[in-house]
Amino acid sequence: MSETMYYHLQTKPLEQALPQLLAATLKRGWKAVVMTGETGRVEALTEHLWSYEEDSFLPHGNAKDGNAELQPIWFTDQDENPNQAEVLFLVDSAESQNLNSYTRVCRIFNGNDDHAVQQARLAWKTENEAGRALTYWQQTEQGAWTKKADANTKESS
């Protein structure tokens, strides 16, 4: 069974945190699907990766670009895995019925949005009851990630 990592955004927005997480994913040799709950966000996030840092590049695409099987990072608003990715990033309240087809699922949610926090809590409860391996990460003031809880060991800090 795959693991789910919850990323609680507090100080940096998704547009700053996501490229860092995607870069770490590619560094491991994994492919990623980024699934958003809003159609318009697919193109916005895709475009953002072209300019998020002047000297960085993360290879990526979406349905507009085509050739999904060749893309290490695939942006979509559909519950799909056309590039055979190992990691699924769920952003903007996106939900997937295929969590177990990934090695890792990363749920990224805005801690300043009460609705997003409630959705994350409900997803944690549901996934925990299903026996999934869960960890909860929270941003520090500097934007780094600190592990705050692990559902399997009942560890929390």
pLDDT of residue 52: 83
Q: What are 50-70's pLDDT values in tens digits?
A: 888 878 889 999 999 999 999
Q: What are 96-134's pLDDT values in tens digits?
A: 999 999 999 999 999 999 999 999 999 999 999 999 999
The DSSP line for 60-110 is -B-TTT--GGG-SEEEESSS--TT--SEEEEETT---S-GGGSSEEEEEEE
CATH architecture designation of domain 3-156: 3-Layer(aba) Sandwich (3.40)
Residue 150 has pLDDT above 60, yes or no: yes
Give the residues across from 98 on adjacent strands: none
Give me the residue spans of the domains in the chain: 3-156
pLDDT of residue 157: 42
pTM value is 0.93
Closest among 152, 145, 157, 44 to 91, alpha carbons compared: 44
Residue 154 has pLDDT above 60, yes or no: no
Least confidently predicted of 84-88, 96-100, 108-112, 143-147? 143-147
Residues 136-151 have a mean pLDDT of 91
* Calpha distance 98→88 (Å, rounded): 10
pLDDT of residue 39: 87
